[in-house]
Amino acid sequence: MNELFVLFADFSPYEAVLLGTGLTCFATALGASFVFFLGRKPNPTMKSLTLGFAAGIMIAASVWSLLIPAIEQAEEVGQNGLWSAAGGFVLGALFLALLDKLLPHLHEPDAEPEGPKTNFRRTTLLVSSVTLHNIPEGMSLGLTFAIAAMQNDPLALSGAFALALGMAIQNIPEGTAVALPLHECGWSKRKAFLAGVASGLVEPIFGLLTVVIIGFVAPYLPWLLAFAAGAMMYVVVEELLPAAKLNEHSDAGTIAVLCGFVLMMMLDVALG
């Protein structure tokens, strides 16, 4: 980690964000590559396990990597940590709820799309759903890596890498969750794989967009961290937990959520 910090010290915020989101993008591509080795129909129990695990990671990341740092940073600059965290969290959830209403998308395995009426194909709506899901992940990585680069702080760097590693782990099943349904809908394995890879590109895009605006909103960084946490938690409650069908595969899915939470918590505490 010391050698990594020495290398990281020369990075600009843009390079730092590309490093973090590049890791999560690679993980999404790795997950999408499973379409070449698995059958068309995903195993329901395995789907419950992977989505539950991803939900647990995102819940823990929202708390340890985003909300707690938001409270601490707010208090360091004389703001009220409680109101900054709560206010940013609510705004982040409302932002994702608004996008959920404005953008047409489809949650697998629902038959009817959400959002405005559209003539888009089912496959396009599936990819749109995952793309919407990845927006808050890109924002959170952009914030944490940009802050670490600007502060040149080993502790902030460790926390950023803990978040990136946790996101990368949960992006592997996400990549699979994009590619397999597309292949099931009739796409070739190659096209389904490329679509899975493309779904992960939204993370570096929104990560870099976050860096673009960070100079203008520096006094509100605690609010932005909490904003990313609220957006991520909205995704967990709205999409991941229902898709994991914990009511049908309660034991496996519930254990997977807890395992994901514990893993991300341990990563953040050990590295952050």
Question: For position 4, what pLDDT does the model report?
Answer: 57
Report how far apart, in Å, the C-alpha atoms of 185 and of each of 23, 40, 48, 162 are. Answer: 29, 9, 20, 36
- Residue 140 near residue 268 (C-beta atoms within 8 A): no
Query: Which of the residues in the chain have pLDDT under 50?
Result: none
Residue type, 31: G
Q: Which two tokens stand for residue 36?
A: 């070449």
Question: For position 42, what pLDDT does the model report?
Answer: 61
Question: For position 87, what pLDDT does the model report?
Answer: 95
| Cα 106 to chain centroid, rounded | 18
Of 15, 23, 19, 4, the C-alpha closest to 169 is 23
Question: For position 25, what pLDDT does the model report?
Answer: 92
Of 8, 68, 96, the C-alpha closest to 222 is 68
What is the enclosing helix (H) or strand (E) of 166?
helix 154-184
Q: Which two tokens stand for residue 112?
A: 């009817």
Of 159, 166, 203, 217, the C-alpha closest to 8 is 159
Q: Which two tokens stand for residue 227?
A: 């904003």
Is the bond preceding 109 in cis, omega lying within 30 degrees of 0? Answer: yes
Of 244, 222, 272, 266, the C-alpha closest to 57 is 266
Q: Which residues contact 151 (CB under 8 A, 6 or more apart)?
A: none
The total number of residues shown for the chain amounts to 272
CA angle 68, 25, 152 (to 5 degrees): 45
Residue type, 76: E
- Residue 258 near residue 52 (C-beta atoms within 8 A): no
CA distance 101 to 176: 26
CA distance 63 to 70: 10
- Residue 239 near residue 143 (C-beta atoms within 8 A): no
pTM greater than the 0.85 cutoff: no
Question: For position 107, what pLDDT does the model report?
Answer: 57
pLDDT digits (tens, 9 = 90+) for 129-186: 667 778 888 888 888 888 888 877 777 788 888 888 888 988 888 888 778 878 877 7
Per-residue b/e over 145-179, b at no fewer than 16 CB within 10 Å? Answer: bbbbbbeeebebbbbbbbbbbbbbbbbbbbbbbbb
